[in-house]
A and B are shown apart, each in its own frame.
Chain A
Amino acid sequence: MRIMSPLIAVLALVLVALVTAQVPGGQALLGIILPYLAFALFLGGVVYRVQHWAKSPVPFRIPTTCGQANSLPWIKQNKLDCPSTKAGVIGRMLLEVLLFRSLFRNTKAEIYEGPKLVYGSSKFLWLFALLFHYCFLVIILRHLRLFMDPIPGFVAALEFGDGFFQIGLPVFYQTDAIFLGALAFLFLRRVLLTNIRYISLPADYFPLFLISGIAITGILMRYFLRVDVVAIKQLTHGLATFSPAITGQIGSIFFVHIFLVCALLIYLPFSKLMHMAGVFMSPTRNMMNNSRMVRHINPWNDPKIKPHSYASYEDEFREFMVGADIPVEKELPAQPAEEEVAKAVE
């Protein structure tokens, strides 16, 4: 269920694209209207979501301190895992966003007779997550060649580096293979590791299948099926310059590819994939651990909430306090009535 329904959903998307590409006007819908719409929804959605988050204040300063704090001058602070300055936080965030610092800590716990708990190092998730995200980035950047004229230098450089081994024709990009491998890893991990399988929802498989669909159609298009590259470039350039036109026989596979990309763009702002923006706003990571140095303001702090007052405390316990030689603000009445004292003692 959890795996099949998202798979069927993605296959259905493929089918929709294949059929639509055949009907009159369908190609314009898939190749022109939908991409604009999807891009607008994507941008609008992401902006909306980030604003929606930003609307809620951060009432308390709650960084998770993952190392020694700024303390006495002779105690070495862990400036990156427990930053107390802006620069430190920037460093921490860069490590988190660029190198997935926290995932790097990952361990795997096992229990043996004894009982004995053992925590083994487990860096595969970190490695493949990193590979997945970086390959994705490279692939997106490589696609810029379709939208820009002239092709920016860094894109050309990226392509050159990526096709370094000069295998095959057209030149084979390593990132394509690594990307597919990483996707396969992320999928297999979800299916094979018992606890990950147990927590996985359709919403976890769906993006994996969708992105796999995009990757597979892209690879098919580049290496295996014949498509009219000149026509595609004309269309994509046209899209970028707001004068799109579909000429020639582009090939259905292209439309499947672009349809899935559009689906991803539309889906993204409403899904867990928003972690790409959320990570920057996570209060346990992006705050300085300086809460004893600088007062953090909570906009909804309620000044009406007062502690149980000392006066009422003393009123309740004055006799006892005086009896125990604890200083008081108000002395007892000169001669306390005896029965009152007796009552209080009760």
Chain B
Amino acid sequence: MADTKVAQMKEKVVKEPSLMTGAVPAKDWWDVEAVFKSGNYCYPAKASMVAYHNKNLPGLFGEPREWDPESDNWNLPENWQEILLNGLKERLDKFRSLKIFMDCCVRCGACADKCHFFLGTGDPKNMPVLRAELLRSVYRNDFTLAGKLLGKMAGARPMTFKVLKEWFMYFYQCTECRRCSVFCPYGIDTAEITMMARELLHLVGVGTNWILEPAANSNRTGNHLGLQPHTFKENAEFLLDDIEEATGVRLNSLNFNRKGAEILFVIPSADVFAEPGIFTFMGYLLLFEHIGLDYTISTYASEGGNFGSFTHNSLMKKLNGKIYAEAKRLGVKWILGGECGHMWRVLHQYMDTMNGPADFLQVPVSPITGTRFDNATATKMIHISEFTADLIHHNKLKLDKSRNDHRIVTFHDSCNPARGMGLIEEPRHILKSVCNNFYEMPENTIRENTFCCGSGTGLNTGEIMDLRMRAGLPRANAVRHVADRHGVNMLSCVCAIDRATLLALNQYWNPEVEVCGVSELLGNALIMEGEKERETDLRFAPLAGMEG
């Protein structure tokens, strides 16, 4: 739990002098130093993790070493400035986005109060524009005429250790949520800048363990916790018992690594081992059994969530490559993806470019409705919400909405499906079909304007709880609003990180509100053949009218 008690935090975010509460810092931002102290940074990556990734992708993760962010000596390589500047040059040449975003910002400030990190901390450098200036100032110094001629007057700064500290602090206080990009008149996407900056930081061996270790696990075992194949399978099968207990039906379609299945189903692996993700997983399984889907789950490609995407595009590609490789090996026709945010950013905007063409697969066609998913003609991979919404639209599911009557539901749009994909109505269509009480949060906090859970991009680690509770405040506050107004007690989402982080967030800010995946509510509502009279939902909470 967070270090600061919630009552105290409620005071702090409103009263503490910060740019959010109207206090202007006495010093110019370039004179304010980043100070690391316990609780405001993620632990550095262990040397063994860096070594592991360096073995696979030489040169991208720096020299393996131990270092302490609080110390003034990070054991950086001798020529770290040179490495960073060369790295920046390389990225300017590789990414037009970076050049444009470096050159075009007019500091209009439209993005300033759009970032959840700024809203929750009031720290000026959490305004997307200043976050970007941390990199832009160095860019000006070494890559622009104005910066070379006018130096500080042009807003240029040489690359110093002080600047490096700022980078490590503030590029790990950005969850790459892209909300700033929606409001910027030039579409400047600070998420993109953060991606570049994190790549650069990794070049000199500055990275966090909570990202590099799961990424290493994903690479080796297929899933980020490092579960070996048999354990992964056991965990998943364990849930069959729970399903049986709740519904009276023993499912027998769950299977792994089966060649010749029609569909490969890829999930964020957290769904098989962590609450409340496991309930979402039960929902998937019930759905597949309900419609008799010919699918398989791979233990080798058991992680759709891509921790590589929080580090470097090469590692993103490497981890993502397993999905197509496995689809090919198993000879499936197409791929179905579970509920996960960052996973879908990668699947939608990067996978085909990085690891395609998927010419060995077929355009996804729903075996139940015959719908051809023309929006995935190249990638051959569709989202479970698209698949389910289509089933519901064609009346292929037997549903009893009232089994979610004990829930008053709202929906959190995860950043990536909303702003990096455009998946907005599908989950809503499902929710409205499987529950009677559904209320939207305020307009400015949903759909493309949605607020991040506050802990994406590998920031959902225990050592920065205060920061996470602050960053999640805008989301929590919107939940508070509908909880007070409509009695909302269930926050649904289509993201595995959300299921973990919103849980912690609500326990802190809105203890009466629980968190679930959309497919869990679907699972509650599905009328299964041969089921018993349902008394509880999938998490064994009594249904409405069954509380006695």
Q: How far is the CA of A60 from the CA of B108 in the complex (A)?
A: 27
Q: A116-B477, A292-B348, A307-B319 are in contact. Are A195 and B183 (CB under 8 A)?
A: no
Q: A61-B349, A125-B108, A278-B104 are in contact. Are A56 and B187 (CB under 8 A)?
A: no
Tell me which of A61, A195, A278, A302 contacts B113 (CB under 8 A).
Answer: A195
Q: A65-B418, A66-B419, A68-B425 are in contact. Are A197 and B24 (CB under 8 A)?
A: yes
Q: Are B448 and A66 in contact (CB under 8 A)?
A: yes
Q: From residue 263 to 291 of chain A, which have CB atoms closer than 8 A to chain B?
A: 270-275, 278-279, 281-285, 289, 291
Min CB distance B319 to A, Å, is 7
Tell me which of A117, A292, A317 contacts B378 (CB under 8 A).
Answer: A292
In the complex formed, the residue of B with least CB distance to A318 is: B229
In the complex formed, the residue of A with least CB distance to B320 is: A307
In the complex formed, the residue of A with least CB distance to B145 is: A270
The verdict on B110 contacting chain A, using a C-beta distance below 8 Å, is yes
Q: Are B185 and A279 in contact (CB under 8 A)?
A: yes
Min CB distance B123 to A, Å, is 11
The verdict on A310 contacting chain B, using a C-beta distance below 8 Å, is yes
Tell me which of B103, B187, B314, B326 contacts A272 (CB under 8 A).
Answer: B103
Q: Which residues of chain A come closer than 8 Å to B14, judged between CB atoms?
A: 111-115
The verdict on A330 contacting chain B, using a C-beta distance below 8 Å, is no
The verdict on B213 contacting chain A, using a C-beta distance below 8 Å, is no
Q: Are A62 and B189 in contact (CB under 8 A)?
A: yes
Q: Which residues of chain A come closer than 8 Å to B352, judged between CB atoms?
A: 291-292, 295-296
Q: Are B377 and A279 in contact (CB under 8 A)?
A: no
Which size class do A's interface residues fall under?
A: 35 or more
Min CB distance B432 to A, Å, is 13
Flag A93-127 by CB within 8 Å of B: 1 or 0 each: 00010001011011111011111110100000100
Q: Are A72 and B181 in contact (CB under 8 A)?
A: no
Q: Which residues of chain A come closer than 8 Å to B319, judged between CB atoms?
A: 307
Segment with Cβ contacts to A, from B67-75, B89-97, B268-276, B455-463 = B89-97
Q: Are A71 and B423 in contact (CB under 8 A)?
A: yes
Tell me which of A71, A75, A272, A300 contacts B104 (CB under 8 A).
Answer: A272
Q: How far is the CA of A49 from the CA of B96 in the complex (A)?
A: 12
Q: Which residues of chain B come closer than 8 Å to A165, judged between CB atoms?
A: none
Interface residues in B, total, Cβ within 8 A: 124
The verdict on A336 contacting chain B, using a C-beta distance below 8 Å, is no
Q: Which residues of chain A come closer than 8 Å to B541, judged between CB atoms?
A: none
Q: From residue 182 to 231 of chain A, which have CB atoms closer than 8 A to chain B?
A: 193-204
Q: From residue 1 to 24 of chain B, which have CB atoms closer than 8 A to chain A?
A: 10, 13-14, 19-22, 24
Tell me which of A5, A115, A125, A306 contacts B110 (CB under 8 A).
Answer: A125
Q: A196-B112, A308-B220, A326-B256 are in contact. Are A320 and B230 (CB under 8 A)?
A: yes
Q: A75-B425, A195-B127, A274-B104 are in contact. Are A111 and B20 (CB under 8 A)?
A: yes
Q: A109-B119, A310-B325 are in contact. Are A283 and B376 (CB under 8 A)?
A: no
Q: Which residues of chain B come closer than 8 Å to A296, judged between CB atoms?
A: 352-353
Q: Are A60 and B353 in contact (CB under 8 A)?
A: yes
Segment with Cβ contacts to A, from B164-172, B386-394, B400-408, B521-529 = B386-394
Min CB distance B147 to A, Å, is 10
Q: Are B119 and A275 in contact (CB under 8 A)?
A: no
The verdict on B317 contacting chain A, using a C-beta distance below 8 Å, is yes
Q: From residue 22 to 61 of chain B, which have CB atoms closer than 8 A to chain A?
A: 22, 24-25, 29, 56-57
Q: Which residues of chain A come closer than 8 Å to B153, judged between CB atoms?
A: 5, 202-203
Q: From residue 392 to 451 of chain B, which have CB atoms closer than 8 A to chain A?
A: 393, 418-426, 429, 442, 444-445, 447-449
Q: Which residues of chain A come closer than 8 Å to B124, judged between CB atoms?
A: 195, 198-199
The verdict on A58 contacting chain B, using a C-beta distance below 8 Å, is yes
The verdict on A166 contacting chain B, using a C-beta distance below 8 Å, is no
Q: A308-B220, A324-B234 are in contact. Are A198 and B29 (CB under 8 A)?
A: yes
Q: Are B314 and A117 in contact (CB under 8 A)?
A: no
Q: Which residues of chain A come closer than 8 Å to B130, judged between CB atoms?
A: 198-199
Q: A57-B96, A292-B376 are in contact. Are A64 and B19 (CB under 8 A)?
A: no
Q: Are A59 and B230 in contact (CB under 8 A)?
A: no
Q: Are B110 and A111 in contact (CB under 8 A)?
A: no
In the complex formed, the residue of A with least CB distance to B234 is: A324
Q: Are A305 and B314 in contact (CB under 8 A)?
A: yes
Q: Which residues of chain A come closer than 8 Å to B326, judged between CB atoms?
A: 310
The verdict on A167 contacting chain B, using a C-beta distance below 8 Å, is no
Q: Are B230 and A321 in contact (CB under 8 A)?
A: yes
Q: Are B13 and A111 in contact (CB under 8 A)?
A: yes
The verdict on A298 contacting chain B, using a C-beta distance below 8 Å, is yes
Min CB distance B173 to A, Å, is 17
Q: Are B189 and A272 in contact (CB under 8 A)?
A: no
The verdict on A168 contacting chain B, using a C-beta distance below 8 Å, is no
Q: Which residues of chain B come closer than 8 Å to A278, judged between CB atoms?
A: 100, 103-104, 186
The verdict on B299 contacting chain A, using a C-beta distance below 8 Å, is yes
Q: A67-B422, A292-B377 are in contact. Are A308 and B24 (CB under 8 A)?
A: no
In the complex formed, the residue of B with least CB distance to A55 is: B93
Chain B contact surface mostly: helix
Q: How far is the CA of A234 from the CA of B377 in the complex (A)?
A: 63
Q: Are A64 and B353 in contact (CB under 8 A)?
A: no
Q: Which residues of chain A come closer than 8 Å to B424, judged between CB atoms?
A: 67-69
Tell me which of B127, B220, B233, B348 contacts A199 (CB under 8 A).
Answer: B127
In the complex formed, the residue of A with least CB distance to B133 is: A199
The verdict on A242 contacting chain B, using a C-beta distance below 8 Å, is no
Q: How far is the CA of A117 from the CA of B325 in the complex (A)?
A: 46
The verdict on B105 contacting chain A, using a C-beta distance below 8 Å, is yes
Q: Are A291 and B348 in contact (CB under 8 A)?
A: yes
Q: Are B258 and A327 in contact (CB under 8 A)?
A: yes
Min CB distance B498 to A, Å, is 18
The verdict on B219 contacting chain A, using a C-beta distance below 8 Å, is yes
Q: Are A56 and B94 in contact (CB under 8 A)?
A: yes
Q: How far is the CA of A109 from the CA of B14 in the complex (A)?
A: 13
Q: Which residues of chain A come closer than 8 Å to B93, judged between CB atoms?
A: 55-56
Q: Which residues of chain A come closer than 8 Å to B96, judged between CB atoms?
A: 53-54, 56-58, 281, 283
In the complex formed, the residue of A with least CB distance to B383 is: A71
In the complex formed, the residue of B with least CB distance to A311 is: B329
The verdict on A313 contacting chain B, using a C-beta distance below 8 Å, is yes
Q: Which residues of chain B come closer than 8 Å to A109, judged between CB atoms?
A: 20, 113-114, 119
Q: How far is the CA of A129 from the CA of B107 in the complex (A)?
A: 13
Q: Are B325 and A307 in contact (CB under 8 A)?
A: yes
Flag A67-97 by CB within 8 Å of B: 1 or 0 each: 1111110111010011010000000000010
Q: How far is the CA of A74 from the CA of B394 in the complex (A)?
A: 11
The verdict on B257 contacting chain A, using a C-beta distance below 8 Å, is yes
Q: Are B107 and A326 in contact (CB under 8 A)?
A: no
Q: Are B129 and A305 in contact (CB under 8 A)?
A: no
In the complex formed, the residue of A with least CB distance to B18 is: A111
Q: From residue 312 to 355 of chain B, which have CB atoms closer than 8 A to chain A?
A: 313-314, 317-322, 325-326, 329, 348-350, 352-355
Min CB distance B338 to A, Å, is 16
The verdict on A301 contacting chain B, using a C-beta distance below 8 Å, is yes
Q: Are A56 and B92 in contact (CB under 8 A)?
A: yes
In the complex formed, the residue of B with least CB distance to A49 is: B103
In the complex formed, the residue of A with least CB distance to B448 is: A66
Min CB distance A101 to B, Å, is 8
Q: List 9 A-B contacts (CB under 8 A).
A: A60-B353, A65-B421, A102-B110, A113-B14, A125-B108, A199-B112, A294-B378, A306-B321, A307-B320
Partner-A contacts on B (CB < 8 A):
10, 13-14, 19-22, 24-25, 29, 56-57, 92-101, 103-110, 112-114, 119, 124, 127, 129-130, 133, 144-146, 153-155, 178, 181-189, 192, 219-222, 228-230, 233-234, 256-259, 299-300, 313-314, 317-322, 325-326, 329, 348-350, 352-357, 371, 373-379, 381, 386, 389-390, 393, 418-426, 429, 442, 444-445, 447-449, 473-474, 477-478
Q: Which 7 A-B pairs have the closest CB atoms?
A: A69-B422, A307-B321, A324-B230, A278-B104, A65-B422, A284-B187, A285-B187
Partner-B contacts on A (CB < 8 A):
5, 49, 52-62, 64-72, 74-76, 78, 81-82, 84, 96, 100, 102-103, 105-109, 111-117, 119, 125, 129, 193-204, 270-275, 278-279, 281-285, 289, 291-298, 300-302, 305-310, 313-314, 316-317, 320-321, 323-324, 326-327
